[in-house]
Amino acid sequence: MKNLILASNSPRRRDLLDQVQIRYTVDPSNSDEIIDYTLSPENLVIDLAREKALDVAKRHQHSIVLAADTMVICDQSFLGKPKDADEAENMLQMLSGKTHRVVTGVVLLDTETRRRLEAAETTYVTFGVLSSEEIRWYVESGEPFGKAGAYAIQGLAARFVERVEGCYNNVIGLPIYRVLNLLKEINR
């Protein structure tokens, strides 16, 4: 089997791969994320993941590159990683009392054959109503930073989640079941 290269520095993605005992090497992409908001959320995250995979593939032979990108969509707004505390608070206020979508694009690229598999996974997450004190407390915890939608479902934000419909791991950053099936397919 070829080496698996994870084109991401995300500790959450590494934790998920470790949890299911997948062996991999980390080589984060240096590609600039150019976000085309004219695309559907599914096409946007696949497009971003594809750029990461192609960038990392240049540095590896006889390997499979795994790249992913996650976006949170609420009320037709794309919520990436907050730039500061104000943006994190605004995102959490937007999510309060609503159902939003978490969409992750996954790309596997065989650097030898150039075969590429792409998929998007969507999960619906419903937040309870958040008070301004809860939002402030959460932002002050520091957890919202570096996370799409300004929250980590597996962390302190678990207290805000009323319901999850779909793949829980997708919300963390990698739809493991889908990834494992894509790995089986690309290794055939």
Cite the active site residues.
Answer: 69
**DSSP label at 178?**
H
The DSSP string of 68-92 is EEEEEEETTEEE---SSHHHHHHHH
β-strand 99-110 against 77-79: which pairing, if any?
Answer: unpaired
Q: Are 177 and 168 in contact (CB under 8 A)?
A: no
**Residue 185: in which H helix or E strand, if any?**
helix 176-186
Q: Are 133 and 139 in contact (CB under 8 A)?
A: no
